[in-house]
Amino acid sequence: MIIIGIVAFVLFFYHSFSTSLEQEKKAQSKNFIESALGIIQHFHQLELSEKLTTAEAQQLAMHTLESATYGDDGYFWINDSNGKILIQPYMPNLVGLNMTNWADSTGKYIFQEFDREARKGGGWVSYTWPKLNTSEEFPKISYVAHYPAWDWLIGTGLYLDDMKSDIFWAVLSTSGVLLLGFLIFIFTIIVIINYFVHQLSELSIRDSLTNLYTKRFLKEISPALLNHNKLTDHHLTAIFIDLDHFKSINDLHGHDNGDKVLKKVAKIMRENAKQRHYCMRYGGEEFVLIGFFENEMSAVDMAETIRHQVSEVCFINDNNEFSVTLSAGVALHNNLIDDSFANTVKRADMKLYEAKTAGRNRVVV
């Protein structure tokens, strides 16, 4: 969809921008002619004020316009009403020749076209004309105007192939910049979307209070854990943890303090967890630690360390100190009796229940 959008954008931009540039170049040529008429009028005024003779005024006007080239090959030419070429800067050998009966390579009588359009108030004429230093004729358009006082035809033109080439490279460079900006915009959007998708994914698998993984993450990670379990001599283990009498903590000390307890327990779990261990808030005051352990005793040691550190923490509520304890159940994944890792977690939960019934604040395996 992005590629289709880019192609459609480039085609639309090329068409609209090239049309706009073509109109601008034509308008520019017309403005040049208006400026040339202003120059001629200036010298004509000097003639009328008798500061210059007619011949002197015309000679100075022709000299000024003959030297007034622009762009790569832009120039002005002047014909008199009889078809005589008065100035032709790039082909001075044509000056003085009569072009009344000249026809271009298509058979069009150029001067007659110039004369007709100019006397109508100015206009465009299409024809073919040689380029500088070549005898080959190329399609060209010229805007011509008439200066009645001296009966002159003044014109300036554009070679169509040069104009199209200029427009092509102008459009190409401009569209290239816009396309680059568009690609940067698309890339930025993709990065932003990817970031927010990642954030949403994190929100869906991270508990907002403790920043531990959620029960949903356990379902996502289980297949990978089982595959890795086949490749290692360590044992995939589930440690199910539940805080003892947590409801009474909320009732006696308030839910804010209850949240502090949950955060602290989560912090202790993360600090003791090693590489490839995953700490999760299973729900409410229940936690699960999943990981690979060398043997059953190393998993029990982990659970006992967490249990002991939690029991050592002193919480304060309105100058009243309180502490919490936890119970834990440990189960190692067994391919013979566990058809899924969910069964391993269930067995760890059953061991947790045994710890609860045995008096709490202990680990059962």
56 is catalytic: no
Which of the residues 56, 271, 285, 354 is marked catalytic? 285
Cα separation, 225 vs 215, whole angstroms: 15
CB 297 within 8 A of CB 353: no
Query: Which pair of structure tokens corresponds to residue 216?
Result: 């949903």
Distance (Å, whole) CA 352 – CA 349: 5
Q: Is 151 left (phi over 0), alpha (psi -120 to 50) or beta?
A: left
Q: Which residue, among 201, 318, 339, 206, has the nearest Cα to 253 in the 3D structure?
A: 318
Tokens of 187: 């890339």
Torsion of CA 15, 21, 23, 27, to 10 degrees: 180
Per the listing, tokens 């009588």 go with 109
Q: Check: CB of residue 86 under 8 Å from CB of residue 78.
A: yes
The tokens for 287 are: 């936690």
What is the rounded CA–CA span in Å between residue 101 and residue 257?
A: 106
Question: What region does 44 belong to: left with phi over 0, alpha with psi -120 to 50, or beta?
Answer: alpha
| Alpha-helical segments (H) within the chain | 2-48, 54-66, 110-119, 160-205, 215-229, 246-253, 255-272, 296-312, 341-357
CB burial readout 169-192, b (16+ within 10 A) else e: eebeeebeeeeeebeeeeeeeeee
Question: Among all residues, which ones are annotated catalytic?
Answer: 285
